[in-house]
Structure 1
Amino acid sequence: MNTNRRSFIKKSIIGTGLLSGASLLGNEVFAHESTSSASKISLNNDDIILFQGDSITDVGRDRNNRNANDTGALGHGYALLAASQLLNKYPAKNLKVYNTGISGNRVPDLQKRWQEDTLAIKPTVLSILIGVNDFWRTIDRGAQTTVDEYKSQYQQLLHETLQKLPNVKLIIGEPFAVKGVGHITDAWYPKFLAYQESARDIAKEFGGILIPYQKIFDNAQKSAPGAYWAADGVHPTLAGAQMMASAWMECIK
């Protein structure tokens, strides 16, 4: 998104409070089911790239390690694989890549730690994958989170982000599940679809690039069963993590 539009967003938020994203961004917003050259992110020298989310992003990272570009700090999943490709492809840009995903997180958990684990890092590119636990906990632990709460909390999070970091470039991962594998039973549907739709709406509302992970995992099952890509239906295998990293890299020009 260009600087003038981000400046307008910042002034609108500060001047009028938390208006709806649609009214702030109008028809200029975009979300992509496949990234085109016009929509991809151009990396600049000294960019700070942050991966945020739940266990799919966390994947065993050392949470006491706050260093950029560090294998232990990046975990063992798609964030590490994407970071490896970024750092290999753009050695002259002095990129700094962080991962602050935490297993089990929902949007309210992100809200509680957003200042320390996102805003304080001052990312110029922010990648968020959140939502599967917001629904899953209603199935396995009796949480009362509704899809409307998921969406409104997510919106609040991004309003705050744009107020503090008006020029940040957003990548929104669509929450996904492999139906019929592991934990993913018929009880998930059709309710889970509404959470996915909300994530897509949010990408459009806030001018982020959407990564359509559900479609990506669905298409992958044409070449191998769902468990090959996500053994429990949610957490990617090594093959699934690489597939996610490759899709993430498609967002970069």
Structure 2
Amino acid sequence: MSTNRRSFIKKSIIGAGLLTGANLLGNEAYAYGESFKSSKISLNDGDVILFQGDSITDVGRDRDNRKANDTNALGRGYALLAASELLNKYAAKNLKIYNTGISGNRVPDLQKRWAEDTLAIKPTVLSILIGVNDFWRTIDRGAKTTVEEYKSQYQQLLQETLQKLPNVKLIIGEPFAVKGVGHITDAWYPKFLAYQESAREIAKEFNAILLPYQKIFDNAQKTAPGAYWAADGVHPTLAGAQMMAAAWMDCIK
């Protein structure tokens, strides 16, 4: 790829910036530095919004249903809750919203199905939440995925995406875990923190809006115990899913 082409691709993402969720983040600016400017996504008529990821995004969706804006196709989690608000709030914009998250997925799994489950849909807004399984499988199933592999594979995925969809608006969800709840033991730390840091670095590198879910779940425990938001420490309860959806909506102008 030529230098000019690479420069064009990186500059063509709209929505570079940070999240300043007043309720969930306590008005804190979550950023990487002064040069990382605050911005939110402006939706256009006919936008195609895709939620992509693992079980936290999947949540029992009908994987044979490829329809846009269909309850069964959107699952029962934050993607459905965010989609319902989007469709209600922006009824005149003719949005098309999809969910292709699959339970248990890691970045290598996304790579294998990316052409069909992402690029073929041609999203104009792409929201990705991936990473908890990339680490978790090293704990419970002996997977050998390193944090370096997680980061490089994620980078390759986004580079391919920008080559095919240079104007896509990216939202990167930080993988999260509620420490001391369910599966989340001391064995996760400090190694899991490096996967989270990699997701944050990727968001910065690709000028994506970052959803700092770890900070959001940490702050939520000031009002209710961790299990109230994620019963097993990873998968959100109904309250946790609504909190995630609200944070996601805070990315939209």
With normalisation by structure 1, the TM-score equals 0.89
Look up the equivalent residue of 1:12 and give its one-letter code.
Answer: R
Q: 1:7-38: per-residue Cα shift (whole Å, max 9, x none)?
A: x9881289xxxxxx9xx66xx99542526895
Map 1:92-171 to 2 at 5 A. 92-171=92-171
Contact between 1:31 and 1:203, CA under 8 Å: does it hold in 2?
Answer: no
The change in CA–CA distance for 1:112 and 1:10 in structure 2 (over 3 A counts) is: farther
Counterparts of 1:96 and 1:79 in 2: how far apart (Å)?
A: 13
Letter in structure 1 aligned against 2:251: C
Change (3 A) 1:9 1:109: farther
Deviation at 1:246, TM superposition (A): 0.1
| Cα distance between partner residues in 1 of 2:125 and 2:49 | 5
1:106 to 1:212, Cα distance in 2 relative to 1, 3 A: same
Length, aligned pairs only: 236
Cα distance, 1:169 vs. partner?
Answer: 0.0
Match of 2:43 in 1: 43
Per-residue displacement from partner, 1:33-80 (whole Å, max 9, x unpaired)? 526895000000000000000000000000000000000000000000
Partner residue in 1 for 2:20: 34
Alpha-carbon distance in 2 for matches of 1:29, 1:97:
18
- Identity fraction in percent: 82
* Distance of 2:147 and 2:63 partners within structure 1: 29
Q: Of 5, 11, 26, which residue of structure 1 is paired with 2:5?
A: 11
Look up the SS of the partner of 1:50 in the other structure.
Answer: strand
TM-score, structure 2 normalization: 0.89
SS of residue paired to 1:52: strand
Distance 2:4 2:171 in 1: 19
Q: CA offset at residue 212 of structure 1? A: 0.2
| Greater fraction of residues in helix | 1
Which deviates more from structure 2 when the two are superposed, residues 37-46 or residues 175-184?
37-46
Structure 2 unaligned residues grouped into runs of 5+: 22-28, 30-36
User: What is the root-mean-square deviation of aligned Cα atoms in Å?
Assistant: 2.1
In the TM superposition, what whole-angstrom CA distance separates every residue of 1:159-210 from its partner, at most 9, and x where no partner exists?
Answer: 0000000000000000000000000000000000000000000000001000
Superposed, which structure 2 residues align to 1:1-253 within 5 Å?
11-12=5-6, 30-34=16-20, 38-253=38-253
